[in-house]
Amino acid sequence: VWGISKLTKSDAPADAATREQRASYLQSLGWETSDDEKEREVLIPAEFDEVYENYNALQKKSGFDLEPFKGQKVTQYTYEILNYPTAEKSDIIRLDLLVLDGRVIGGDIYSPRLDGFMTGLQSCKEVQK
């Protein structure tokens, strides 16, 4: 397990097309996830509204940028994180990976609670800081 302060496109795996490759990528970030992987197609809007501008700002903090993918359909994979450092056992913390053509192009970590949070994709070690 290694920690990184900022992900960049070159840090993303060359291929995240298979469940095993995605699992390996998440493990490289220090995350333990449930075996249950949810998959859905999402459309990155052709024009970003304020909400998507803010979401892309999170992506940029993690070394990603969704601007080049405007108007494209991507696959979102969602996992439950089992080892989030500050979570209580009853807390649900999820991680999304955005994948296009077998490459991670973005992602986020969030709590779906009413008083929850959302951050860009980061390593487990970064969360502990």
**Confidence (pTM):** 0.87
Residue 115 CB-half CA count within 13 A = 1
Among 9, 17, 12, 18, CA closest to 101: 17
The CB density around residue 86, as the number of other CB atoms within 10 Å, is 9
- Each of the 129 residues of the chain gets a pLDDT tens digit; together they read 333 344 444 454 447 999 999 999 999 999 999 999 999 999 999 999 999 999 999 999 999 999 999 999 999 999 999 999 987 777 899 999 999 999 999 999 999 999 999 999 999 999 876
Measured CA to CA, the distance from residue 95 to residue 111 in angstroms comes to: 9
The token pair at 92 is 């649900």
Enumerate the domain spans of the chain: 19-128
Measured CA to CA, the distance from residue 11 to residue 56 in angstroms comes to: 18
